[in-house]
Amino acid sequence: MSGDPAEQGGLLGRLPEYASLREQALRVIRTGLIAGRIKQGEIYSASALAAELGVSTSPVREALLTLTNEGLMEAVRNRGFRVVPTSERDLEEVYELRLMLEVPGMRQVAERREHGELARFAALAEQNKQAAAAGDVHEFLDTDQEFHLGLLALTGNRRLVDTVRALRMQARLYGVGSLAAHHRLEGSAQEHADILDAIAAGDGAATERLMRRHLAHTRGTWATGDPLDQD
């Protein structure tokens, strides 16, 4: 299969006019990859993706090369790019590592009680909730990432944040689009507010418990996409 999105009715949507083209192309292609719109086994040409996004080929090619350097995609000589195959075991290992790193990291944030910036995260949680209600997958995943990585940054451990960011990029959340279409992401969005309340209270145990439940979505309904099987 060629994977040309122009022939498939559009995979990613068009870029907003205000976008920094390379960064915005990278954003939407990465989201398409994580959410499973860009599929394993298919080859995607930079020119076809650029045509769908409404931009020139150059920024899209640069974005695809960035994803190749990150190990998420690979170049196919004279044909385009394809997603590096990811097994169920790979995804399980990503999930296990996130539990090992994010859960204690967020507990540390709660127990440090240095919460001068929490108003910013309340605003992000609200934006995430609005994106969930609107079925906006790009905005939902963007605000979800900004919320979690921003809070982890309060640990002061830059390498922790960079490692978790890389792990998030290796996740495959094939069910997010289906759940968004069925308006079933609002529960996950509400969990951000619950986590933030626990952090604001300095309750490390509650933060840990809520984070474990929250991350379970990435190997549950976010991965499978069954809208009837969400907690």
The domain ranges of the chain are 5-83, 88-224
**Residue of higher predicted confidence among 116 and 87:** 87
Residue 227 above 60 pLDDT? no
Of 16, 34, 23, residue with least CA distance to 59: 23
Residue 180 above 70 pLDDT? no
Of 187, 102, 115, residue with least CA distance to 148: 102
pTM of the model: 0.77
Looking at residue 224, its pLDDT comes to: 57
Greatest C-alpha distance within the chain: 56
Residue 4 above 50 pLDDT? no
Determine what percent of the chain is predicted with pLDDT higher than 90: 45
pLDDT range class, residue 18, cuts 50, 70, 90? very low
The answer to whether the CB of 73 falls within 8 A of the CB of 81 is: yes
**Interior CA angle at 159 toward 138 and 67, to 5°?**
40
Of 18-22, 73-77, 101-105, 192-196, which gets the smallest average pLDDT? Answer: 18-22
**Rounded Cα gap, residues 81 and 214, in angstroms:** 32
Mean pLDDT for the stretch of residues 192-207: 96
pLDDT range class, residue 58, cuts 50, 70, 90? very high
Residue 85 structure tokens: 């195959």
Looking at residue 74, its pLDDT comes to: 93
**Rounded Cα gap, residues 24 and 88, in angstroms:** 29
DSSP string, 197-231: HHHHTT-HHHHHHHHHHHHHGGGTHHHH--TTS--
**Residue of higher predicted confidence among 71 and 4:** 71
Residue 194 above 50 pLDDT? yes
Of 207, 202, 109, residue with least CA distance to 154: 109
Please give the class, per CATH, of domain 88-224: mainly alpha
Of 2, 48, 50, residue with least CA distance to 26: 50
**Residue of higher predicted confidence among 1 and 127:** 127
CATH number of 5-83: 1.10.10.10
